[in-house]
Structure 1
Amino acid sequence: MRRNNHRANRRRPGHAAAAALSLLLACAPAQAADPTPAATPAAAADPACDAPAFLAQDPDRLSAALPRCEKNPTYLYHLGWQRNQQQRYEQAADHLERALLLAPDQPATLLQYAIALAGSGDLHSAIHLMTALRQRSDLPAPLRASLHHLLATWAPRLLAPPADGPIWGPQADPSPRSATLLTASLRLGYDNNLQGASRQSSLTLTLPGQHITLPLEPDQLPRAGIWQQADLRASHQRQQPGGSRWGLQAALQQRNTPSYASTTSSQAEIQLDYTLAPVWQWEAASKTIATPGQPPARTSLAPWASLGLTALHTQGGTRYAGRNLALGLEWAASACVLRAALDSQQRQLHSTPILSGRYLGASLQWQCQASSARQWLAALRAGRDQAQDPGRPGGNQAQYGARLQLATPAPSLPGRPGAQWLLEADYSHQRDTQGYSPLLQDNRRRQQQRLSARIEWQQPLWPGLHTFIAGEAVAQNANLTLFQMRSQGLWLGLRGQW
């Protein structure tokens, strides 16, 4: 994932911030970790590698001793610190990672490693690492002051969204800027119900005067198996000089299920989100209550619109296309954004046209950056899906839903700080306005509830490269037994970001 061409670093979003801050820390030792033996990890057995006179050499002569001193954390710390001063951040990250593997609990090394991560383009991991480090009670006062300054400088520059997040959210800095994020991931997983089949092994038909129970075909029963998935996602955000901003996100997904070929699928999505300049805004007049280095608190109200397209195709013959449009208002205050919208969707199931419909509803979304390393999202939605064909089983549907998502720091591997938990729960309820079928439980109207929960552990391996392990459980209940379903799955994967 790393590249040896250091000129490429000039195009990365965290490079300018890391360059300015590394120079600042070099010129102001009272605010930063002083690269002396007293502030660095404990020395290894070879005294020559951590001798003050030896460490004071110029970078080229110091790096020449790497084969001899590669197991000395003090030497590796100094070499990484020098590479940060030279803005050679990827080399700095290499040396500092080795130092953390040998002495994983050294705040000065962690600080320099965060600078190297930011300079390499992984500003998210750098901020997560700094936030976790700041919570330690044993930090010296000068180092704690440096952390506050780093976070105050970096957080407003964090414009590009996380890989699993929406392309809108709290914006700490209204100044014109843009950011682009490319993400590619590979996953390998196991699911005990690949096709989302019913829990029932038989189907009872209600005929005049009698009930007939028929066994379901083997292909209609839950099928367990391994799956592989490749994802490619690109997003771009731009903050305009007048205060408006827009974001564009495109995604491709290919999922392969060797044991059940009909569920192999391809999916494509594109979304455009545009927020107009605020029609009303207010800025806190008192600067005395603001955190030093942080911009003053702002509250604003602005119209916004979103347009999206989705296409899905499976080898089993399912072909789906969706178009959605949302119009609403955005209320932004401090580290939170509240969005209210009217939502319209065209849901076209080309493989089974009778099931197609038009959805109209309302939604409320609330996203907050609780800290530099913790954020959450809550959403509510309600609406009505109007059947395009009057003969659709169940007719029109009333639909409701809620979603919760939390990203928070997690235990990390030794020498690899910045791990995160991603927790997500989604609930939906739908109710038909007509009987589903005279053959199913005397034409009863279907009511269906679905709850899914996911937990994912994300661990940085190198700047821009993460590994993750996740699990998901889905439970669907309905008054018509044919629509009751259970599914559990586990997966692991790698994700790269540029």
Structure 2
Amino acid sequence: MRIGPSALVAVLAALPGSGAWAACPGDAGERLPAPGERQALASSLAALATECGGHAGYLAYRGALLNALGRHDQAALLLEQALLLDPGLAGAQIDYAEALAALGDPASAAAMLRDVASRPDVPAPLQSRLARMLRALEARPRAGAPGARSARADENGERAAGWHGTGTLALKLGTDGNLNNAPTSTVLTLTLPGGDAVFQLADRFRPRAGAAARLEGAGQWVRPTEGGGALQLYADARSRTSPSASEANYRQLQAGGVWNTALGPSRAGIGSGAAASLGVNISQLRYGGADLYRAERLTASRDWRVRGGRTECRPSAGLEGESRHYPSAAELDGRFFGLNAGLACNAGVNRVVLALRAGVDIARAERPGGKQRQADLRLVWQRPLAGGRLGADLHWYRQRDADGYSPLLDNGAARRIGRAALSLEYSYPIAPGWSVLGSLERLEQRSNLGLFDIFGRAFYVGVRWTSGR
């Protein structure tokens, strides 16, 4: 007897990096750090380009930082993208004006500042600052050749209105104590009419430890749309190869798209408020050289912005449905319907995301356990540390079957599963776009049926390259 494909898929889904749960910096009104710390922060923000490239707050914050570092051309492009995603970001408009002035176009910069100053929600202290900036700009002679900025504006305007992409590629080497996600028990107890029978599990069904290499790549492309919305496409691919357990090598592919649209102004007056999104996702898992799992998911959600001091949060709620297929075991196919909720917060330098999903997986045909009630909670925390970035990813999962899993296991008891997976990662920038990293991972799954008890630990080190604009 072996663990079914559905259980294996669930374990692999709990591995770090199998989902995108990033909370992006920039929406909490963070101040720029001291001059000596800005280059390290720039490298840290660049490493988040894939996860956060579709967030206006992140683009605006990174643009302001590059402005402070004197990289005005790069800053202007990021700030253009931020304003296309969220035209109401007054801070980004001011930073964009500063970048334009530094690039030799004080006239365009002044026009941008006048636009901000005309807004009724701009407080008096900021109005005074804008007036001083305008006087300084109007007193400056225009630098550069006539028409130089207009040509650049046409070029960048066309470019900013189109697709913008970011990507990452990581190579990790390490060791894993349970490459094949085998059960911790060395015996299998079957309940037979004449009494319990205990069998020793064959070696191939026991945990296999060894060295492994992971290759992970991800990309995201964003195109702003009219009305402050955006269309986002993304793809994620990852594989693991081990010379000591080639039958446990796997490859995961995931791709999808999300359409976002703003629903109204924020209560704080400046910035975006509620937003709605509609997304579609497809995923595939190959394990041991064979197709193990495929799924198609549709989601719809709405979020809100809540501010308090230096903390800003975005609570969200939505619906989702997913069709799940197991090519090698069609009797396990099912359809999942459920609710989701989330909370993404930036509190100073800390970023926290909480995501909850709960629903029911309905079998397409007769399958062991029948209908499944499922719930999972994911908590992600990140913060800068010693020039790099420390992150933790905790995933908690519960499942309860409606019917008995098998008459041979605990007299046909309904299966219950509880699983917790934890990953700690520290990354440190070593060059623009490059960082080194190390991670510790732990997974523990418990069930009333001993066959589904699983435990594993892993350690990896590697290098990550990030590209984006």
Same fold (TM over 0.5): yes
| Amino acid in structure 1 at the alignment position of 2:368 | P
Partner of 2:246: 261
- 2:444 aligns with 475
- Say whether the 8 Å CA contact 1:159–1:237 is kept in structure 2: no
2:344 paired residue number:
367
2:395 matches 1:422: no
Asked if the contact 1:155/1:172 (under 8 Å) is kept, the reply is no
The 5-angstrom pairing of residues 327-476 of structure 1 reads 327-334=300-307, 335-371=312-348, 373-390=349-366, 392-411=367-386, 417=387, 419-476=388-445
State the partner residue of 1:24. Answer: none
Deviations 1:276-312 (A, max 9, x none): 231x334535xxxxxxxxxx3x452232111000011
Shift of 1:331: 1.6
Residue 492 of structure 1, CA deviation: 0.7
Q: Kindly indicate whether the alpha-carbon contact (under 8 Å) linking 1:348 and 1:356 is maintained by their aligned counterparts in 2.
A: yes
Query: Is 1:222 aligned to residue 199 of structure 2?
Result: no
Letter in 2 for 1:404: L
**Is the contact between residue 190 and residue 410 of structure 2 (CA under 8 Å) also seen in structure 1?**
yes
Paired with 2:81 and 2:418, the residues of 1 have a C-alpha distance of 35
Answer whether contact 1:160 1:181 (CA < 8 A) is retained.
no
Deviation, structure 1 residue 245: 1.5
Match of 2:46 in 1: 122
Q: Deviations over 1:385-406 (max 9, x none)?
A: 011122x111110001111001
- Summarize the alignment of residues 140-219 of structure 1 with structure 2, pairs less than 5 Å apart: 150=68, 157=78, 179-219=164-204
Q: How does 1:55-94 map to 2 (within 5 A)?
A: none
Give 2:236's aligned residue: 251
Shift in CA distance, 158/359, structure 1 to aligned 2, threshold 3 Å: farther
Match of 1:320 in 2: 293
CA distance 1:115–1:489, change in 2 (3 Å)? closer
- Inter-partner Cα distance in structure 2 for 1:322 and 1:408: 33
Alignment partner, residue 83 of structure 1: none
1:289 is matched with which residue? none
SS at match of 1:300: coil
8 Å contact from structure 1 (residues 159, 179) kept in 2: no
* Bigger mean CA offset, 431-440 vs 335-344: 335-344
Q: Which has the higher contact order (CA 8 A, sep 6+)?
A: 2
Rounded to whole Å, the distance in 2 between the matches of 1:365 and 1:115 is 27
TM-score, scaled to structure 2: 0.67
Q: Are 1:281 and 2:281 matched, yes or no? A: no
2:218 equivalent in structure 1: 233
3-state SS, counterpart of residue 181 of structure 2: coil
* Residues 302, 329 of structure 1: 8 Å contact kept: yes
Summarize deviations over 1:241-278 as a string: whole Å, max 9, x none: 41111211112222111111111112211021111231
2:266–2:305 contact (8 Å) kept in structure 1: no
Provide closer, same or farther for how the CA distance between residues 213 and 123 of structure 1 changes in structure 2, counting only shifts above 3 A.
closer
Q: In structure 2, how many angstroms separate the alpha carbons of the residues matched to 1:155 and 1:368?
A: 27
1:316–1:122 Cα change, 3 Å = closer
Q: Is the 8 A contact 1:245 1:277 kept in 2?
A: no
Once the two structures are TM-superposed, the CA of residue 148 in structure 1 deviates from its matched residue by 12
**C-alpha separation between the residues in 2 aligned to 1:356 and 1:191?**
30
- Contact residue 448 and residue 476 of structure 1 kept, 8 A: yes
Change (3 A) 1:108 1:482: closer
Q: In structure 2, give the amino acid aligned to 1:358.
A: R
Q: 1:276 to 1:234 in 2, by over 3 A?
A: same
CA shift digits 1:347-368 (9 cap, x unpaired): 1010111112110000101112
Q: Which has the larger radius of gyration?
A: 1
From the superposition, tell whether residues 490 and 123 of structure 1 become closer, same or farther in structure 2 (CA, over 3 Å). closer
Structure 1: which 5+ runs fail to align? 1-31, 34-106, 126-145, 162-167, 286-295, 412-416
Count residues in correspondence.
343
Identity across aligned pairs (percent)?
27
- Give the TM-score taking structure 1 as reference length: 0.63
Q: 1:491 aligns with which of 437, 443, 460?
A: 460
Name the CA distance, whole Å, in 2 between partners of 1:331 and 1:186.
37
Amino acid at match of 1:207: L
